[in-house]
Amino acid sequence: MGTFNKHIFLIGFMGTGKSAIAQQLGNLLGLSVADTDSLIEETSGMSIPELFQERGEDYFRKLETETLGKLAFLDRKIVSCGGGVPLKRENKEIIKKTGNVVLLTASAETIYMRVKEDTQRPLLKDNMNINYIEELMKKRQPEYDKTADIIIKTDGRNIFEICEEIVSRLKKLEDTE
Ligand code: S3P
């Protein structure tokens, strides 16, 4: 599969701006946008907090992998991935094979500021503090790094600057592939 046909997957910790950046990138590149969490909510008819509460995290993770598998057959898209996607080997294989992977990063402080009022993230619901975010992020970092083709820092930058950098880094990546 040539780079031109590949999806662009945005990965990274909760609150690194994946959804907002996916929308803006979609506009810039004229590509449609998908979001694994929204697709899971549509197919299951349940919200993410409901899924975690009523069916458990393992069930949610199963739907997540199924969703990524289905995306492989669709036209080129920008795909905003739930923060846990790169933690599972099977998911990692799917996204590396069917797309280019952009990792968004931010400091624990920035993430806390972005997500502190949010009630839709079950993993942070009872742990809404900088220390917990920092610990979980540290634990996940090796898998995030391993999965990424491109790493983009988002701290202190606006969405346009971030998208500009992603587009120029993706172009370079295409040239080398
Ligand atoms: C999760 C991140 C969430 C969502 C679920 C689990 C995670 O998505 O998939 O709550 O494990 O990091 P966002 O990264 O879009 O918040």
The CATH number of residue 89's host domain is 3.40.50.300
Structural domain harbouring 122: 7-176
Q: What's the confidence (pLDDT) of residue 123?
A: 96
Does the C-beta of 48 come closer than 6 Å to ligand 1? yes
Residue 22 in any domain: the answer is yes
Q: What is the pLDDT along the chain (177 residues), one digit of tens a residue?
A: 444 579 999 999 999 999 999 999 999 999 999 999 999 999 999 999 999 999 999 999 999 999 999 998 899 999 999 999 999 999 999 999 999 999 999 999 999 999 999 999 999 999 999 999 999 999 999 999 999 999 999 999 999 999 999 999 999 998 887
Q: How far is CA 42 from CA 34, 51, 122, in A?
A: 12, 12, 18
Residue 18 in any domain: the answer is yes
CB 92 within 8 A of CB 9: no
In angstroms, the CA 50 to CA 56 distance is 9
Q: What's the confidence (pLDDT) of residue 40?
A: 98
Q: Based on the structure, what is the number of domains in the chain?
A: 1
Ligand 1, atom 10, residue with closest C-alpha: 121
Q: What is the pTM of this model?
A: 0.96
H helix intervals, 30-88 = 36-44, 48-50, 57-71
Q: What's the confidence (pLDDT) of residue 2?
A: 44
CB 101 within 8 A of CB 148: yes
Which of 37, 40, 67, 137 for mutating ligand 1's site (highest number of atoms within 8 Å of CB)? 37
CA of 85 to the centre of ligand 1 (A): 8
Looking at this protein, which amino acid is placed at residue 13? Answer: F
Neighbour count for residue 126 (Cβ, 10 Å): 8
**Ligand 1 atom at minimal distance to the Cα of residue 35:** 15
Residue 1 in any domain: the answer is no
Q: What's the confidence (pLDDT) of residue 53?
A: 97
Q: What's the confidence (pLDDT) of residue 4?
A: 57
Does the C-beta of 86 come closer than 6 Å to ligand 1? no
Residue 33 in any domain: the answer is yes
**Ligand 1 atom at minimal distance to the Cα of residue 120:** 10
Ligand 1, atom 2, residue with closest C-alpha: 83
Residue 2 in any domain: the answer is no
Residue 64 in any domain: the answer is yes
Residue 140 in any domain: the answer is yes
Ligand 1, atom 15, residue with closest C-alpha: 82
**Ligand 1 atom at minimal distance to the Cα of residue 57:** 6
Q: Among 2, 3, 37, 41, which residue's Cα sits nearest to residue 18?
A: 37
